[in-house]
Amino acid sequence: MNIQPFTIAVPQADLDDLAGRLAAARWPREALGAEWERGVPLAFLKELTVYWAQGYDWRAAEARLNAFPQFTTEIDGQRIHFVHVRAARPDALPLLLTHGYPSSFTEFTEVIENLRQDFHLVVPSLPGFGFSTPVGGDGWAMGRTARAWAELMSRLGYDRYGVHGGDIGAGVSGAVAGLAGEHVAGLHVTTDPATAAATATFLPGMADRLDPADPVDAAALERMAKFRGAGNGYLAIQNSRPQTIGYLLNDSPVGQLGWIADSVERWTDLPYDRDWLLTNVSLYWFTGSGISAANFLYEQAHSTDWGAPPAAPQGFAVFGADATVRRLIDPPAGCHWTEFERGGHFPALEAPKLLADDLRAFFAPLR
Residues in the chain: 367
What is the average pLDDT across 142-152?
97
- Predicted confidence at residue 327, as pLDDT, reads 67
Identify the residue with better confidence: 89 or 324. Answer: 89
Question: If we measure between CA atoms, which residue out of 253, 291, 231 comes closest to residue 39?
Answer: 231
Task: With cut-offs at 50, 70 and 90, classify the pLDDT of residue 360.
Answer: very high
Residues that are catalytic? 167, 298, 345
In this predicted structure, the answer to whether residue 201 has a pLDDT above a threshold of 50 is no
Query: Using one digit for the tens of pLDDT, what is the confidence trace for 208-248?
Result: 777 788 887 777 777 666 665 555 688 889 999 999 999 99
- Confirm if 71 and 3 have CB atoms less than 8 A apart: yes
Element (H, E) at 148: helix 142-155
- Confirm if 176 and 154 have CB atoms less than 8 A apart: no
Q: Tell me, what DSSP letter sits at residue 182?
A: G
In this predicted structure, the answer to whether residue 363 has a pLDDT above a threshold of 70 is yes
Domains and CATH numbers, the chain: 3-23+34-366 (3.40.50.1820)
- Confirm if 78 and 290 have CB atoms less than 8 A apart: no
Question: If we measure between CA atoms, which residue out of 184, 257, 262 comes closest to residue 229?
Answer: 262
In this predicted structure, the answer to whether residue 36 has a pLDDT above a threshold of 90 is no
What is the average pLDDT across 291-317?
90
Q: Buried b vs exposed e over 194-232: b needs ≥16 C-beta within 10 Å?
A: bbbbbbbbbeeebbeebeeeeeebeebbebbeebbebbe
What is the average pLDDT across 135-145?
94
- Predicted confidence at residue 29, as pLDDT, reads 87
In this predicted structure, the answer to whether residue 313 has a pLDDT above a threshold of 60 is yes
Arithmetic mean of pLDDT over the chain: 91
% of the chain residues with pLDDT over 90:
74
In this predicted structure, the answer to whether residue 326 has a pLDDT above a threshold of 80 is no
- Predicted confidence at residue 206, as pLDDT, reads 60
